[in-house]
Amino acid sequence: MDKTQQGHIQCQIDDKLATIEFYHPSHNSLPSKLLKELSDCILECGQNDDVLIIILKSAGERTFCAGASFDELVSINDADTGKTFFLGFANVINAIRKCGKIVIGRIHGKAVGGGVGLASAVDYCMATKYASVKLSELAVGIGPFVIGPSVQRKIGLSSFSHLAINATEWQTAEWAQGKGLFQEVFDTTEQLDAYLTSFCETLKNMNPQALSQLKNIFWEGTENWDELLAERAETSGKLVLSPFSKNTIQKFLKA
C-alpha cells in the first residue's frame, strides 16, 4: 500500500474524556490524509457536548511524531500542491486553537518538526524523559514556518530561534520543560499515564464554562492564524520545490 494512505486516527470518548490517537508505520509521520482526519476529529470533539477534555497522543513505544511525511513531500511538484500539504499542519494547529476544549498532549517519545508543532499547540503537555525535540526543517531546506507561530507562542522567540537554526541537534525533554514546551516530564510511560489519568479525572470535575473561558484566554492574540498559517504554508510549499530540498529529501529516503 502507498505509504501516504497508511496509518489511522482513532477516537475514544469515555466519561467526558476524548482520547485521539494517531499512528503511522513511518515513526508516526503525518501524510495529508491523516492530517485531515486529525483536524476533523479535533473539531468534532470540540462540538461534542459529551466531551470536556481532549487527550492527543500517538501509538507505539518510540517516536511520538516524526513530522511531515517525506514520502509525500518528495512527490510535490508544484507550489499549489505544496501549500495544500503544509496547510494540513496549519489546520491541525487551528483545530486545537478553535475547538473550545482543553487539549492535553501525551508525548511519550521523540518529536520532530511537525511533532514539535503539535506539542506546542496543545494547552497542557506531558512527556517522558525520552521525548527529545528537534526542528529539522531548515536541514532539508524548508524552515519551520507553519508551526513557527505555535512554537514561538509557547517557548518564546529566543528558544524558537535556537530550535529553528540548530536544526540537526536534539534537545532533551528537560530542556523542553525548562522552556515551557512540556509542563510535566516523567521517567517512564507508566508514570506518565498514571499522572495523566489522575490529572484528567480532576479536570473533568471542573466548571466547564471556566475551562472554556481559560481556553479563550490562552489563545488571545491568535485570531489571525487562519490567514497567517496559510501564508506560511505557501512559503513552505514553494521552498520544498527547491533543488536543495528535493535532493536532501531524496537522500533521506534512500538512507
Residue 61 lies in a domain: yes
Q: With helix as H, strand as E and coil as C, how does the chain read?
A: CCHHHCCEEEEEEECEEEEEEEECCCCCCECHHHHHHHHHHHHHHHHCCCEEEEEEEECCCCCCECCECHHHHCCCCCHHHHHHHHHHHHHHHHHHHHCCCEEEEEECCCEECHHHHHHHHCCEEEEECCCCEECCHHHHCCCCCCCHHHHHHHHCHHHHHHHHHCCCCCECHHHHHHCCCCCEEECCHHHHHHHHHHHHHHHHCCCHHHHHHHHHHHCCCCCCHHHHHHHHHHHHHHHCCCHHHHHHHHHHHHC
Residue 176 has pLDDT above 90, yes or no: yes
Residue 158 lies in a domain: yes
Q: What percent of the chain has pLDDT over 90?
A: 88
Domain that holds residue 247: 3-190+222-254
pLDDT tens digits, residue range 87-127?
999 999 999 999 999 999 999 999 999 999 999 999 999 99
Assign 1 a pLDDT band (cuts: 50, 70, 90): low
pLDDT tens digits, residue range 79-93?
999 999 999 999 999
Residue 160 lies in a domain: yes
Residue 209 lies in a domain: no
The domain total for the chain is 1
pLDDT tens digits, residue range 10-44?
999 999 999 999 999 999 999 999 999 999 999 99
Residue 78 lies in a domain: yes
pLDDT tens digits, residue range 185-214?
999 999 999 999 999 999 999 999 999 999
Assign residue 43 the CATH number of its domain: 3.90.226.10
Q: What percent of the chain has pLDDT over 70?
A: 99
Residue 197 lies in a domain: no
Residue 205 lies in a domain: no
Residue 43 lies in a domain: yes
